[in-house]
Structure 1
């Protein structure tokens, strides 16, 4: 059973008459937040709109890990009673303003850690800045921002922040893995850059041109186009533009429906392309879209892919996850994010955010994808990456069909976190 918490002492009745309604509400919220039986985590990511399926996937992965931690007694063990993790849910609506409102609501409800990443790097950056300001003014109610999917290198580079931790390989790390793979494929000659018009899309294009160009100086970049994120319903005009350029490949940071609709448009046009992407295969519907297009190859990079050889620990987790949720398991990094948090709380023997942050620095865990270290100097996780391609099942390289299709994942290359690690511009300012 959870700890039984004592009710807070009430101010004398004659003082209550002089307190404003807002002050009374603040006192009530503080009393609620002080419950020692739980450590509250706020999930802030899209749960409505064009990317709701992505947000729901991330939420389910997070909730599964939290439930497992609680089933094993929670955190701060051994002790008379473990402290349980409680997951609060907020819809970011893919908006920085909505996310900031959710952050304030989460803090008011007692959250001391935020798990986010599926709303894009600009949203995560806004959350980190707001959390840092809040923490400076309210050190006794500080919050951490744990980022599982937004991969802007600036978040652990020149804009690094003590309160932010990134559990996904960043854009530069992923593009380095892709560039190493393209280097061995001389058939790739002409590349088009098509990306969503926001921070991540622009960076995927920039790092693509820089790192792929460095690996293959002979490659021609024949076009560079940005499009509105989540608002294009028909990618046919973009496909026509790519075709006119003579491109054989596309470097695209698109995800969710922006990726599946691009695949559909190219398939409808009968245009065979190679696509190089960061995480498309871990989003529901992508494998189905590739199989329906019946042409083209989508190569992406992640910490694991379904059907990967020598991944018994992930396979066991995926099997247990499906048995409990009825859904496919796709993203070990999201599952490991609350597990890192729990391990840091245990190491710090504290529920105070600053102490947890210090415990997270240089913390290493033996995860289902192997050893992962949270680099202390910039709060960038160093985790393995596998370059893989969605391809037809052949019984050899691809043995497992996915999403009810005869398409699965073919491993192209494996890299350790240390092999892909980049230098950093981070100059971390740490609170006293």
Structure 2
């Protein structure tokens, strides 16, 4: 009997040990749900290439858990409804890690759907990894245990942007222009709040929202901006909406400054050309001239795809997932979610932390300006001969903003 009990105990120990290391060599299926067609399709296609490129880099020995990452994409046409259908298809395909970023309206729909799905399907949970949807509500009033954001939210970016604008004494009159959905609304809200606090002398001389990814000629908006006397424009526009806005500004002789979130995204560098030199700024958690390993990766990515890599959240997702899976000794989303809370990893620009309170990554932010590429800042996107050169860096604690999230954690 004693021998039998010892045998059973030993067997259990072996099984447990094997289970603990079961993630090594395991394939982790990930599906990115984002636009792959339409006006904003080029952005999604470029980002999907980035995921597949870095999935290879961070697989196996590239992560402490030893797992293999596999990423596929589903076109959601930037539609929340299409995204919910894509979510179901991804789960049916066996994916338990969902990635999305382009469009906060989509992100809000996915957050709600993933939360409800996990409540109804214990043992089959999925995690939602957000790489670019920056509506602050996602980590405040709409926060979810199953949602983790790797970009900096709108309030964080505006905190950094307004801190820089505070020092630019030539800024007197600001026009706010944005896309008519949650992101555009939030950019306007936080721009007005932070400038009133830091530069109350600045006047908001105009404000407009336009349809998302529908406007093909921004000349009428540029005419309104010029008529307002604005010397500076703040915009959260991205993709074709920013490219066409800048194109219209150049064609119609607007010479004021632009403070943007996404000047480095596909298509916009070409639209900027040389006309935006010294007057187009971007706030972001990375830029084209980070140096070190990032420079090597970007060169390799460009050589392989003839495209520019700019979504650094991709790298951080693989880094933190690998670390969390090693910590959890599992790829089970329930265990990995718990391990992700509060996790710290050393990334391409120092240590970043996934804040436990709201699942918002705490990270440095940079202000960069569009200028001619040179020896110090040599990377030139889209063959423009120009680049985004850093002019200011804000540490994690500077860009961090408080959260009102009341996280409901599974029992």
User: TM-score, normalised on structure 1?
Assistant: 0.86
Q: Which of 336, 342, 352 lines up with 1:372 in the alignment? A: 352
Residue-pair matches, total: 387
Q: Which residue of 2 aligns with 1:8?
A: none
Q: Which of 291, 295, 299 lines up with 2:273 in the alignment? A: 291
- In structure 2, the residue corresponding to 1:336 is in which secondary structure? helix
Is 1:400–1:408's contact at 8 Å kept on the other side of the alignment?
Answer: yes
Provide the alpha-carbon RMSD of the alignment. Answer: 1.8
CA distance in structure 2 between the partners assigned to 1:121 and 1:400 by the alignment: 30
- In structure 2, the residue corresponding to 1:414 is in which secondary structure? strand
Q: Which residue of 1 aligns with 2:339?
A: 359
Q: Which of 114, 120, 135 lines up with 1:152 in the alignment? A: 135
1:295-330 deviations in Å (ceiling 9; x for gaps):
77211111221134xx31321222333344343222
Q: How does 1:182-221 map to 2 (within 5 A)?
A: 182-221=165-204
Q: Which of 23, 46, 67 lines up with 1:57 in the alignment? A: 46
Is 1:268–1:293's contact at 8 Å kept on the other side of the alignment?
Answer: no
Note the residue ranges of structure 2 that are not aligned, 5 or more in a row.
1-24
Deviation at 1:395, TM superposition (A): 5.5
Q: How does 1:305-344 map to 2 (within 5 A)?
A: 305-308=287-290, 311-344=291-324
Q: Which residue of 2 aligns with 1:96?
A: 80
Q: Which of 345, 349, 353 lines up with 2:329 in the alignment? A: 349
Q: Which residue of 1 aligns with 2:3?
A: none
1:341-366 deviations in Å (ceiling 9; x for gaps):
22211211112211110000011111
Q: Which residue of 2 aligns with 1:253?
A: 236
Is 1:270–1:295's contact at 8 Å kept on the other side of the alignment?
Answer: no
1:337-391 deviations in Å (ceiling 9; x for gaps):
1332222112111122111100000111111121111111110001111101112
Q: Which residue of 2 aligns with 1:417?
A: 396
Is 1:75–1:84's contact at 8 Å kept on the other side of the alignment?
Answer: no
Note the residue ranges of structure 1 that are not aligned, 5 or more in a row.
1-35, 78-82
CA distance in structure 2 between the partners assigned to 1:400 and 1:332 by the alignment: 15
1:140-174 deviations in Å (ceiling 9; x for gaps):
11000000101111111111110000001111110
Is 2:29–2:94's contact at 8 Å kept on the other side of the alignment?
Answer: yes
CA distance in structure 2 between the partners assigned to 1:47 and 1:111 by the alignment: 19
Q: Which residue of 1 aligns with 2:59?
A: 70
Is 1:181–1:412's contact at 8 Å kept on the other side of the alignment?
Answer: no
Q: Which of 95, 106, 110 lines up with 2:90 in the alignment? A: 106
CA distance in structure 2 between the partners assigned to 1:43 and 1:331 by the alignment: 13
Deviation at 1:406, TM superposition (A): 2.6
Q: Which residue of 2 aligns with 1:9?
A: none
- In structure 1, the residue corresponding to 2:58 is in which secondary structure? helix
CA distance in structure 1 between the partners assigned to 2:295 and 2:145 by the alignment: 34
Q: Which residue of 2 aligns with 1:27?
A: none
CA distance in structure 2 between the partners assigned to 1:317 and 1:163 by the alignment: 30
Q: Which residue of 2 aligns with 1:166?
A: 149
Q: Which residue of 1 aligns with 2:120?
A: 137
CA distance in structure 2 between the partners assigned to 1:400 and 1:295 by the alignment: 15
- In structure 1, the residue corresponding to 2:123 is in which secondary structure? helix
- In structure 2, the residue corresponding to 1:140 is in which secondary structure? coil
